[in-house]
Structure 1
């Protein structure tokens, strides 16, 4: 079976798992869903399947609960204590303490249950007798051809900023379950501390609960990489359509939806300004599912450089107009045949084109005024040139853009590549807090924890020598961004000469500035570079594990890349180009599809 068909079947396994939970009470039931779960759940099962599974009504989780009367109630939430407490309060408000209901209230936690939840229910005397908790971890969601997402929010912040490993078992279990469907790859490479931890937990699951008995795997190799090993790919501004779409709109589970707000303000269509009187770019209402099989227009433009997208959409619009003119001149039998065979497809294509034109207009409105300047600055950063002017642009952008995420993102890009002195960091941070508020003072420690900047208070190592004065010597980092990038050929020498229209280099996704690390590693594996050479080239990036069970060079030239902490559409597009150039297949899996602003939100949230 083709690997894409196997990945598409994962949805059926998730449905079977959810159906088993619903079957604990066969009666008709209400389902109350936390709003953040709505779009992922649409990709897992959909409303029609829920109705067929006994769900009578579906509600959003709100502060005031609907009247449940005698209906069975299932809540579906992410495992956050604040949300769980809200659910418990709603249940307690409708429970008769003298005559508590049995098997009526159920809470489904995705993807795991916190022990604090059971403690809270125990305190109120609700555990098991009134409320039952269920854990539901859906299989990786097949968002688009070769793209798998677990849709676990806040994993980057939890794992890399807070250094809390509570969600790591979710990642290892998802890999363990996936291998039962696709088989276990014979070649495994893990890069980064969390990726190695994930691999160790996967090994433990195989020992404790068994592993797949499939002899052959759909994947010749598995590559697991930490997000913090290659921050650059997330921080750079993408140049491709799908990446820019995710920058401007909120994309969840591969669904991009933006509705026009209903307002009675007569000046609604006029310019909108933020609190510092800067104009706010207008976003057009769109509804796009980022799935090539559902949207033929998206399939054509998703990985194109944005300057090419507008011309493609323009040509498609002209084709629609010419088709409309031709239909007016049809004979009666031709009209009948046209209505039966082409009209519906034409209507769908018209809707797709309209959505993408509106989205392209919004991208231009939001980023057009600074895109070229930002691209030049980012290219200079990748070439390690003009550091002083890059810092000047960064500090000016704080005031001119009034965008805390954009400013912090550019700061982090400079900090991990060109390296900033303590005084340069302090200067930026003072200006950032002055402009955006001192409430963000805590984020400085988050930047240190995430590895964007050094902790200068701990930059000296104390050496205790008996009978002597304690000596303090500075710590020297062995990692250098440009040396590592040069060793893996990630930075093209002449970015301006990269063909953006018909690309042959994966760096085109960033306008020729940089090639994502996952693309280079996958390329080395597919090109059968000796594993020891791969190990030596990757060791400067972090801890490396390489396993080969008589599978190298690859017998099956299909690779699964598992990014821990979120993957970007630009990285996916770079892998898509590589697989086209090499005649292979690269599937990408992660906890979520993100952009650089998502990382910055993780830094700026408590």
Structure 2
């Protein structure tokens, strides 16, 4: 069995793990799901499977619970204290303390329960006697060819922004479970503090709970890297279709589903016109959507012409069908009509999405690209900062402006005066309630703490290494972006219009090209803490690489790796806690602990 089929079958393991929890009570039961888990759960098992596994009714978690009567109830929630407290309050409102029911209330926490949950239930006298806690971690979800996601939306906020390490064991456990399916790669390379911790926890799991007995792995190497090691790959504006699609539409669990709001306004809170986007329903899965498979990694300027040609083909097919004889029409209806209707619907959705991308990003895309190329080449710093201050007011988009601010901060290093000037204008524009986010930016290392009279012993995480020196050592910045072929790319920087090559792509390239591991370690040490485990199988005998990005991976990085595997005749599989874009990370910085 090839590794693609193995990855596609991971959901079957998840189903069996979930079924064991449901069978704790064999009766027909109700399932109450917190809304953020609905989409990923659909990718894991689906409604039909739940019905066949004893779930009689499914509810979305609401502030007020319906009357469940005597049916067993299974709550499914993420590890958020606010949500847990809401569930406990609902249970306490229904429980008769004098005569509590047994084996009725169950709380399934995804991916793992927190110790504070047990403490709270113990305080109310509910733990085990009335409420049973379960941890359930689904196997990585195979979203698309070579893309695995743990669908853990809390991770970046919890781990990177607020330095809460409670979810780290879930990441190492996911790797440990996956190794029983794909084997343990002979070469493991980690880059970053959290990645090194995951490797240590993974090795401890192998010692304590047993290692895989698979002799040969489906992957010759495993690369684990922190999101914080390569922020530019998330902050730069992508140029490929899949990346731009995720920039303007909400994409969750590989689904892009957007409906027009019931109440739609034409002006924002600053009386600027709101650029509209069309309703779409797109599965970002190459197996389900052949049109998406063709255009997902194309530079956007190519996409509209491809969709135009596909539309012309449909029109030609329609004309030819009108000239068919009766027998030919009958055969056409039986064999091709349904497929043609499906293809028409797919093309229509992508045309609407492309139209929305142009409508929302078209007015500033070219200038944004020029500014970002200047940033990656360390030129026109004052003009770049002026553009930042301009979009702060003209776009009225706090995620967009904060994103560009962070990009400039870690590359061209803003002064204390520039930082304070921007932040004062940012708060004035979007509200002083976001004042707490300044501390988040300091924690993440985007800016230095300039608090008067404070002895700052904690340097910004990017101050110990120069961005341009590191990027030059790994050849991440093309000398002449204008010479990068965007339509028929041979350089992975095409995903950002020729501005930058993602770090994971360059690391994978070093391993594919059999660069000595000592040299690889020297090149990477300036980025962060490096660890290498080599089972003497280098150069790689199996030229498949698994890349594990901790904190979210972007569609642009995935596309860059897709190009590399095509050029090298190898395979790269991407695993992460979720697929993100720069706006997602900025949203987590501007949100409170979860």
TM above 0.5: yes
**Alpha-carbon separation, structure 2, partners of 1:458 and 1:204:** 44
Deviations 1:477-520 (A, max 9, x none): 44100010000000001101111111111000000000000000
The residue correspondences of 1:213-232 to structure 2 (distance < 5 A) are: 213-232=213-232
Deviation at 1:102, TM superposition (A): 1.4
For residues 58 and 75 of structure 1, the distance between their equivalents in structure 2, rounded to whole angstroms, comes to 10
Residue 159 of structure 1 deviates from its aligned partner by 1.2
For the pair 1:596 / 2:590, whether they are aligned, the reply is: no
Post-superposition CA distance 1:293-328 (Å, at most 9, x none): 011111111111111111111111111111111111
Match of residue 499 from structure 2: 513
Shift of 1:81: 0.8
- SS of 1:229 mapped into structure 2: helix
Does 2:375 align with 1:381?
yes
Q: 2:411 aligned with 1:399, yes or no?
A: no
Distance 1:194 1:232 in 2: 19
Distance in 2, matches of 1:186 and 1:317, equals: 48
The answer for the alignment partner of 2:176 in structure 1 is: 176
> CA 1:227–1:123 in structure 2 vs 1: closer, same or farther (change >3 Å)?
same
Residue 282 of structure 1 corresponds to 276
Separation of aligned partners in 1, 2:21 and 2:402? 43
1:15–1:474 Cα change, 3 Å = closer
Q: Which residue of 2 aligns with 1:552?
A: 538
Give the Cα separation in 1 of the matches to 2:215 and 2:259: 49
After TM superposition, where is structure 1 displaced by more than 3 Å over at least 4 residues in a row? 456-463, 473-478
Which residue number in structure 1 is paired with residue 3 of structure 2? 3
For the residue of structure 1 that corresponds to 2:375, the secondary structure is: helix
How many Å apart are 1:98 and its aligned residue?
2.8
Counterpart residue number, 1:165: 165
The corresponding residue for 1:83 is 83
Alpha-carbon distance in 1 for matches of 2:238, 2:13: 34
- Who is 2:426 aligned against? 432
Using a 3 Å threshold, how does the CA distance of structure 1 residues 119 and 410 change in structure 2: closer, same or farther? same
State the Cα distance separating 1:451 from its structure 2 match: 1.2
* CA offsets 1:314-367 (integer angstroms, 9 cap, x no match): 111111111111111111111111111111111111111111111111111211
Distance in 1 (CA, whole Å) between partners of 2:462 and 2:352 is: 50
Q: CA deviation at 1:458?
A: 9.4
RMSD: 1.7
Aligned equivalent of 2:511: 525
Deviations 1:397-448 (A, max 9, x none): 1110000000000000000001111111111111111111111111111001
Are the structure 2 counterparts of residues 357 and 52 from structure 1 closer, same or farther at C-alpha, using a change threshold of 3 Å? Answer: same
Tell me how far 1:96 sits from its aligned partner.
Answer: 2.3
2:180 is paired with a residue of what secondary structure? Answer: helix
Q: SS at the partner of 2:218?
A: coil
Residue 188 in 1 paired to residue 188 in 2?
yes
Q: What 5-or-longer segments of structure 2 have no aligned partner?
A: none
Q: Residues 445 and 460 of structure 2 are in contact (CA less than 8 Å); yes or no, is this contact kept in structure 1? A: no
Contact 2:446 2:462 in 1 (8 A): no
SS of 2:229's equivalent?
Answer: helix
Residue equivalent to 2:332:
338
- In structure 2, the residue corresponding to 1:165 is in which secondary structure? coil
**TM-superposition CA deviations, 1:551-590 (whole Å, max 9, x none):** 1000100000000110000000000000011110000000
Q: Which residue of 2 is the match for residue 64 of structure 1?
A: 64
Q: How does 1:253-292 map to 2 (within 5 A)?
A: 253-263=253-263, 272-292=266-286
Q: CA deviation at 1:457?
A: 4.6
**In the alignment, which of 410, 413, 438 is matched to residue 407 of structure 2?**
413
Residue in 1 aligned with 2:520? 534
Match of 1:129 in 2: 129
TM-score calculated relative to the size of structure 1? 0.95
Mark the CA change 1:474 to 1:531 in structure 2 (over 3 Å): closer, same or farther: closer
Provide the residue aligned with 2:554 in structure 1. 568
SS of residue paired to 1:112: coil
| Counterpart in the other structure of 2:147 | 147
Q: Which blocks of at least 5 consecutive residues in structure 1 are unaligned?
A: 464-472
Q: CA deviation at 1:259?
A: 1.3
What is aligned with 1:138?
138
Structure 1 residue 529: Cα displacement: 0.6
Partner Cα distance (1:365, 1:217) in 2: 47
Q: Render the CA deviation track for 1:358-395: whole Å, top value 9, x for unaligned.
A: 11111112111111111110010011110000000001
| Residue 39 of structure 2: aligned partner | 39
Shift of 1:474: 13
> How far off is 1:52 after superposition?
0.8
User: What is the TM-score of this pair, normalised by structure 2?
Assistant: 0.97
Aligned pair count reads: 591
Shift of 1:462: 9.4
Q: Does 1:451 align with 2:436?
A: no
CA distance in 2, matches of 1:94, 1:336: 61
| Post-superposition CA distance 1:239-292 (Å, at most 9, x none) | 0111111110111111111112335xxxx5xx6111100111212111111110
Q: 1:123-149 deviations in whole A, cap 9, x for unaligned? A: 222211221111100001110010000
* Structure 2: distance between partners of 1:355 and 1:74: 37
What are the superposed Cα offsets for residues 54-80 of structure 1, whole Å, 9 maximum, x if unpaired? 111111111121221121111111011
SS in 1 for 2:422: helix
Do the aligned partners of residues 458 and 218 (structure 1) sit closer, same or farther apart at CA in structure 2, a change above 3 Å counting?
A: farther
The equivalent residue for 1:198 is 198
Distance 1:460-1:445 versus aligned 2 partners, 3 A rule: closer
Task: State the distance in 1 between where 2:533 and 2:455 align.
Answer: 35
